[in-house]
Amino acid sequence: MTDPATSWVDGADGSGFDVDHLPYGVFTTPDEEPRVGVRVGDHVVDLAPVAAASFDVHVGLFEQPTLNVFLATGAEEWERVRSWLQDLLLDPAAEAMVGPHLVPLSEVAMRMPFEVADYVDFYASLDHASNVGRIFRPDDAALPAAWRHLPIGYHGRAGTVVVSGTEVVRPSGQRRGADGPTFGLSERLDIEAELGFVVGTPSPLGSPVPTSAFASHVFGVVGLNDWSARDVQAWEYVPLGPFLGKSFATSVSAWVTPLAALDGARVDLPGQDPAPLAHLAVDEPAGFDIAVEVLLDGEVVARPPYSSMYWGPAQMLAHLTSNGASLRTGDLFASGTISGPAAEQRGSLLELSWGGQEPFEAAGRKRTFLEDGDEVTLRYTAPSPRGHLTLGEVTGRVVG
C-alpha cells in the first residue's frame, strides 16, 4: 500500500490510465486470493474493499478470480459501477477511503482477466486479407468471393487463450515438404496484431444480435496476439480454415478497456463497397481510432492503424449471431490481423517479410519469422477527452 498518488486522475501523468479509462483486470498479491482491480496510473485499485466501504456497489462482483460475474451483470451495471468509481476517484473527500486500497503495480501479479467461453477470430482487414491472398495464392484473386459481403471468421480454441506475459512454446506440426509432408517444430512462427472484444451480456439461442445492440453485449476490448505457425497453417487450412496452426496459443492483455472509455475513439469505417446487406448495416461510427505498435525484441517494427479495418466489431457480432447462435458471458471475438495500406503498417511478420522472401530489419538484423527467445509486444493507444488511453499491452516470449 502507498500514499494515494493522484497525478493520474486527470491524465497529467501522461500514463493513459486516468479516470476516462479505468480498465479492469484480475490481480494477486502474495498470500492473497485473486480479485478484481482497476488500473489508475501505476496502481491498481483493489475494488472489493472500496466497494465494502462505500456500500454503493456489491462486493461480490469483485471478490472473484475472473471478471465473469461482473461481465454478466449487463450494460446498466457496468455504467453504474464506472460512474461510481469515477466519482470516488475525482472526489478529494474520498481519498481516505480509496488511498489505502491503491496497490502499486510492482507488487501485483496479473492473471487471465476472464474465463473465455467461445473464441472466434475474424479476418476484417482489407489490406491483410489482400496481402495474405497474394502471398499464399499468387495465381488466384486476392480476396475470397465472400470477403466483401461478410466478415469471414473461424472458431478458435478458447482453452488456449493466455494472459500477456505467458511464454509461448514453439509448436510442432505437419508441414509441406519437397518429398512429402514432415512433422516437426514450426519454422515459420508468426504473430498477428489484433484487437479482441469481450462479451458480457449473453443472448438466447435463436435470437440474432443486431449491429445496434453491440454496446449492450460487448463489455470491452483487449489487446490480442494470434500466434500463428504459417508452415502448419499453409498445409492444413484448405478447405476448413486454420486448425493446429493457431490453436496452440492466443495471448490477450491483462487489462480489459471498457467500451465506454472508447467513446472518444469512435470513427466511421473507411467505406464498404458494395454496401453490406441490411443485417450488417451500421448507422453510427462503427470503427475505432486505435493506434497499434508491434515491437520485436524492444524495437518497433510496425504501426498498424485499427481505423483502417474494413469490417467493424458490431458487424462481426451481428454476423456471428445471424444464424441464431447464442452468446455466452466470456465470449471473445477478435478482429483479425490489423494491417494498413503502407508497408510499415503490416501486423504480421508474414506480411512484413512478404512470405519470408523479403527480410526486414529489426535491432540491426535481417529478420523473417520468430526465433526462440524473441519477445513480441503489442501496444495500443486511443484518443480520449483528457489526452489518450493506453490500452492493455500484450507481450510474450517464444521458447523452444
Q: Which residues are catalytic?
A: 128
| 154/354 with CB nearer Mn ion | 154
Residue 94 C-alpha cell reads as 474520498
Task: Say whether residue 190 binds Mn ion (CB under 5 A).
Answer: no
Residue length, the chain?
A: 400
Task: Say whether residue 192 binds Mn ion (CB under 5 A).
Answer: yes
| 81/317 with CB nearer Mn ion | 317
| Contacts for 37 with CB less than 8 Å, ≥ 6 apart | 24, 25, 26, 27, 44, 45, 46, 47, 62, 103, 108
Task: Say whether residue 351 binds Mn ion (CB under 5 A).
Answer: no
x/- binding map, residues 246-265, to Mn ion, per CB under 5 A? --------------------
| Contacts for 208 with CB less than 8 Å, ≥ 6 apart | 279, 318, 321, 322, 323, 324
Q: What share of the chain is helix, strand, coil (3-state, %, to 5)?
A: 25, 30, 45
CB of residue 120 to Mn ion, shortest distance in Å: 10
Q: How many chain residues are in contact with Mn ion, going by CB under 5 A?
A: 3
CB of residue 101 to Mn ion, shortest distance in Å: 38
| 233/353 with CB nearer Mn ion | 233
Q: What is the torsional sign of CA 49, 52, 55, 61?
A: positive
x/- binding map, residues 199-228, to Mn ion, per CB under 5 A? ---------------------------x--
Give the one residue of 121, 127, 331, 351 binding Mn ion; rule: CB under 5 A. 121
CB of residue 193 to Mn ion, shortest distance in Å: 9
Residue number of the CB closest to Mn ion reads 226
CB of residue 301 to Mn ion, shortest distance in Å: 18
CB of residue 348 to Mn ion, shortest distance in Å: 8
Buried b vs exposed e over 55-70: b needs ≥16 C-beta within 10 Å?
eebbbebbbbebbbbb
| 251/321 with CB nearer Mn ion | 251
Residue 373 C-alpha cell reads as 527467445
**Euclidean distance between CA atoms 105 and 253, whole angstroms:** 15
Note the residues at the interface with Mn ion (CB under 5 A).
Answer: 121, 192, 226
